[in-house]
Structure 1
Amino acid sequence: MEILNLGGSLVPVFTLMYIFVYLLGYFIFFKNWDAKKKPDASSCLISIAHGTPAVILSIYANFLHTQSPKHHFAAQNTPFQTLVFDFSIAYFIIDTSHYLIFTPHDYLFIAHHMAVLYVFITCRYVVGYGGFAILLLLVLAEVTSPLQNTWSLARYRKDEVAVAARLYRGLSPYFYGFYTLVRGVLGPLLVYKMVVFYMSGGGDGVIPFWAWAFWMVVIVSAILVSMLWVFCLWLSYFKERTKIRKLS
């Protein structure tokens, strides 16, 4: 029996799950951390709970599930794809709430999360088609999650724990490089193929012009925000390296 024949949205269920994971991190796993760093560490924990599972679920939904569409950017969303959307929408709702409450000045991440939510919600609840392409983008977005969250947790503790400092320094160039490759090369390549597909009329009759046009604008904006973020990290990295060389 299909687990998705339950009907309705699973966003409330997944939202409660992410709230539980967040509170678990805040009050149990990171309870002895500095009060200013506990929220960010808890955000990393829900990112871990979402990232790799989202990659696996998206690949399964797109390529391995019995109802998976055959590599078609305008295919109707399958029940399993809607499950993946609900799983991810709930995550972005909770993580966006985290940023709005604890770091409302972090405009880049808030803008990125809001953009992703817009695409997911419209594809899942309004259009009902095109999930195949959007979930491919989700795979590219979340494949860096293990490295990013390990790097983030190490960064939060690098001034207090020597092992964390070494991990942060050693991991930084590899994380930045992998992130740049995925978000700066593979992501834009997929978006280009989507634009060509939709502009040639591939989605006509099922995906309205306003939908795919707005998706492309929002997705390109999200990629640019991601690249701006990693560009700032690269600048900081090379400045630190230059400073170390001058001191040595």
Structure 2
Amino acid sequence: METLTPIQSPSIPNLPLFFLMFLIIYLIAYFIIFPNWSPKFRPEASSCAISLAHGTPALFLASRAIFSDPNRGFASINTNSQNSVLDYSIAYFLMDLCHYLIFYPSDLLFIGHHLATLFVFVTCRYVVFHGGYAILILLVLAEVTSFCQNTWTLASARRGDSRVAKRVYDFLSPPFYAFYSVVRGLAGPMFMYEMSKFYWSGAADDVIPRWVWVSWVIVVVMAISVSILWISNLWVEFYRERTGTILTKKVS
């Protein structure tokens, strides 16, 4: 019986190339696209720019890499296309981590989130060479809301001084919250359950050490929990804003 060996490239040009690309996009956003934004929102807007450059492309690239693999499964070996998508995402999170370390070093939640996510991607890509299918499905679930979230974030940042931004924010908030809630509150936990059940069965222990997949499960469960808490707080704030608006109209 032929033994499968990890698919590896003789060199690793993708990661530094992708990182350079995200760095250039960030600098263009910071110095050219958003030069007139206040110092409070300018870095966040630049972060949204690289997130937009990562999110939707990663969604389609990951989907293509997943479905082009006839042997896909929770313990399947990574294909070259899956490794390329992992490199793409590693480069983005490294760039965004630099952004947080420079502009928001006290934001330990996001810094911790990025470090944990990088741990999952890096171990999958460069340590065990397996599990790309599972990690990229999680990436798809994370990035399917990316475009809406970044648009909403940019509108939220400028809603106080721009009528257009305020209208976009008000229009986008309900559908974005609903979409995000379904993906992170329903689809994510359902897939995570199937993934955890497979790994707990021991079926992947020969190719993915237990400490690795246990770490993956912990990181993803924590990320989903934080996402659910975040969107829950937004729903509460949305309800208060709408209730306050209705009461104000009645009083006036």
Instruction: Quote the residue 2:37 is aligned against.
Output: 33
Per the alignment, residue 14 of structure 1 pairs with: 18
Letter in 2 for 1:74: A
TM-score, length of structure 1 as denominator length:
0.94
Partner amino acid, structure 1, of 2:58: A
* 1:235 aligned partner: 236
Where in structure 2 are the equivalents of 1:79-228 lying within 5 Å?
79-228=80-229
Instruction: Using the TM superposition, give the Cα deviation of residue 105 of structure 1 relative to its aligned residue in structure 2, in angstroms.
Output: 3.3
For residues 230 and 169 of structure 2, what CA distance do their matches in structure 1 show? Answer: 17
Larger radius of gyration: 2
Q: Please report how far the alpha carbon of residue 108 of structure 1 lies from its aligned counterpart in structure 2 after TM superposition.
A: 2.9
Structure 1: 5+ residue stretches without partners: none
Are the aligned partners of 1:176 and 1:230 in contact in 2 as well (CA < 8 Å)? yes
Given that residues 11 and 87 in structure 1 are in contact (C-alpha distance below 8 angstroms), is that contact kept between their aligned partners in structure 2?
yes
Cα distance per residue 1:169-218 (max 9 Å; x no partner): 11111111111111111011111001111111220211111111111011
Q: Which residue of 1 aligns with 2:3?
A: none
Asked whether the equivalents of residues 44 and 149 of structure 1 are also in contact (C-alpha less than 8 Å), the reply is yes
Write the distance in 1 (CA, Å) between the matches of 2:229 and 2:79: 34
Distance 2:174 2:107 in 1: 23
The alignment yields a C-alpha RMSD, in angstroms, of: 1.4
2:27 corresponds to which letter in structure 1? L
* CA distance in structure 2 between the partners assigned to 1:107 and 1:234 by the alignment: 23
Change (3 A) 1:9 1:221: farther
State the Cα deviation string for residues 84-117 of structure 1 (Å, max 9, x = none): 1110001001112212221233333222222211
Quick one: which amino acid aligns to residue 77 of structure 1? Answer: N
**1:69: Cα distance to partner?**
4.5
Structure 2 CA distance for aligned equivalents of residues 61 and 205 of structure 1: 23
Per-residue deviation at 1:49? Answer: 0.3
Match of 1:62 among 47, 60, 66: 66
Query: How many pairs were matched up?
Result: 242
User: TM-score scaled by structure 2?
Assistant: 0.92
Kept in 2: contact 1:75–1:129 (CA 8 A): yes
Moved more, 223-232 or 208-217: 223-232
Q: CA-to-partner distance for each residue in 1:136-173, whole Å, 9 max, x for gaps? A: 00000000011001101111111111011011011111
Distance (whole Å) between structure 1 residues aligned to residue 233 and residue 101 of structure 2 = 22
